[in-house]
Amino acid sequence: MRPSLFHDPRPLAEKLRPHHIDEVIGQTHLVGEGKFLSTLLAASAIPSLILWGPPGTGKTTIARLLAKQSKYEFMFLSAVLAGVKDIRAIIDKARQLHRAGTPTLLFVDEIHRFNKSQQDAFLPHVESGLITLVGATTENPSFQVIAPLLSRCRVLTLQSLSTSECQEIAKRAINHPEFGFNRAGIKFCSECLDLLISLADGDARRLLNSFEIAGSLAREQDDGSRAVTIDLLQEAFSRNSLQYDKDGEEHYNQTSALHKSLRDSDPDGALYWLNRMLMAGEDPLYVARRMIRFASEDIGNSDP
Q: Considering the chain, tell me which residue range(s) the CATH 1.20.272.10 domain(s) occupy.
A: 249-302
Give the burial class of 301: count Cβ atoms within 10 A of its Cβ; 0-12 exposed, 13-18 middle, 19 or more buried: exposed
Q: Considering the chain, tell me which residue range(s) the CATH 1.10.8.60 domain(s) occupy.
A: 163-236
Give the burial class of 193: count Cβ atoms within 10 A of its Cβ; 0-12 exposed, 13-18 middle, 19 or more buried: buried
* DSSP category for residue 162: P
* DSSP category for residue 31: S
Amino acid (1-letter code) at residue 56: G
Residue 162 is predicted with a pLDDT of 95
- Measuring CA to CA, how many Å separate 169 from each of 16, 21, 99, 207, 218? 9, 15, 41, 8, 20
Query: CATH 3.30.70.270: does it fit domain 27-157?
Result: no
Taking alpha carbons only, the member of 148, 25, 48 closest to residue 108 is: 48
Distance (Å, whole) CA 122 – CA 294:
43
Is residue 142 within 8 A of residue 150, CB to CB? The reply is yes
Taking only the tens place, the pLDDT of each residue in 172-218 is: 999 999 999 988 889 898 899 999 999 888 999 999 999 988 888 88
CATH assignment of 249-302, given 3.40.640.10, 1.20.272.10, 3.40.50.10680, 1.20.1330.10?
A: 1.20.272.10
Distance (Å, whole) CA 270 – CA 265:
8
Q: Which fold has domain 163-236?
A: Helicase, Ruva Protein; domain 3 (1.10.8)
| Type and span of the H or E element at 157 | strand 154-157
Q: Considering the chain, tell me which residue range(s) the CATH 3.40.50.300 domain(s) occupy.
A: 27-157
Residue 243 is predicted with a pLDDT of 65
Taking alpha carbons only, the member of 242, 179, 228, 146 closest to residue 4 is: 179
- Sequential pLDDT tens for the chain (304 residues): 344 455 678 899 999 999 999 999 999 999 988 899 999 888 878 999 999 999 999 999 999 999 999 999 999 999 988 888 899 999 999 999 999 999 999 999 999 999 999 999 999 999 999 999 999 999 899 989 999 999 999 999 999 999 999 999 999 999 999 999 988 889 898 899 999 999 888 999 999 999 988 888 888 877 777 888 888 788 777 655 566 666 667 777 888 888 888 888 888 888 888 888 888 778 888 888 888 888 887 776 666 6
Residue 1 is predicted with a pLDDT of 35
Helix axes 204-216, 190-200, angle to 10 degrees: 140
Amino acid (1-letter code) at residue 33: E
Distance (Å, whole) CA 176 – CA 182:
8
